[in-house]
Amino acid sequence: MTKLIKPELTPPHGSHLKSLLVKETDKPAYCYREGRWKVIYRQEEDTWELCDLKEDPQEKDNRIDSATETERMKQALQPRVDREHL
């Protein structure tokens, strides 16, 4: 399982889009949060993560391959990722 972004780096509630850089040399990680769900795209590894913040507030369980919300959440974040890659 991929290490997830520290929760304190993301907004506490609501629907949010955010780009994060952990170090200056890192490629960005993009986040989108909607209610209980948070999706993360990591450009460096070209990986996706999905967390159910209600069931997993510590963000340790990547549900990207099993949650029914996966495609909807990825579609919500994809335009931001595409725009940043131009």
pLDDT by residue, tens only, the chain of 86 residues: 444 544 444 444 445 556 655 555 567 889 999 999 999 999 889 999 999 999 999 999 999 999 999 999 999 999 999 887 66
Residue with tokens 């949060």: 33
Tell me the residue type at 13: H
Which pLDDT value is given to residue 31? 94
Which pLDDT value is given to residue 74? 96
Pick the closest to residue 31 from 50, 56, 55, 53 (CA basis): 50
Could you tell me if residue 50 is inside a domain?
Answer: yes
Pairing assessment for the beta strands 16-20 and 29-34 based on DSSP bridges:
antiparallel
Domain hosting 25: range is 7-84
Query: What gap in Å lies between CA 10 and CA 53, rounded to an integer?
Result: 12
Domain holding 38: CATH number? 3.30.1120.10
**Residue 68 burial (CB count, 10 A):** 7
Could you tell me if residue 28 is inside a domain?
Answer: yes
Structure tokens at 3: 């290490």
